[in-house]
Amino acid sequence: MVGKRGRVIGRIAPGIVGEVMLPVRGATEAFYAYPATDEVIEVGTPVVVVDFDPPRTVYVARAF
């Protein structure tokens, strides 16, 4: 999961769980997401996974 790129579908902020869509197993699936740093990431922003907490939680940062 680490290194996968996706898109925010639910606002992510410190202390607030958001949601991202990530490509997995030939499809796109939703995962709960937390920011990897203290930043707010709005809906539609491309992100990259920096950590994974099975089964469906990821920590993300903005993708540049």
pLDDT at 59: 98
Of the candidates 51, 61, 43, which has an alpha carbon nearest to the alpha carbon of residue 7?
43
Ranges of each domain in the chain:
4-62
CB-based burial of residue 8 (10 Å sphere; 0-12 exposed, 13-18 middle, 19+ buried)? buried
pLDDT at 64: 87
CATH class for the domain made up of 4-62 = mainly beta
6 touches 22 (CB < 8 A): yes
**Chain centroid offset of residue 44 CA:** 11
10-residue averages of pLDDT along the chain (64 residues): 97 96 96 97 98 97 94
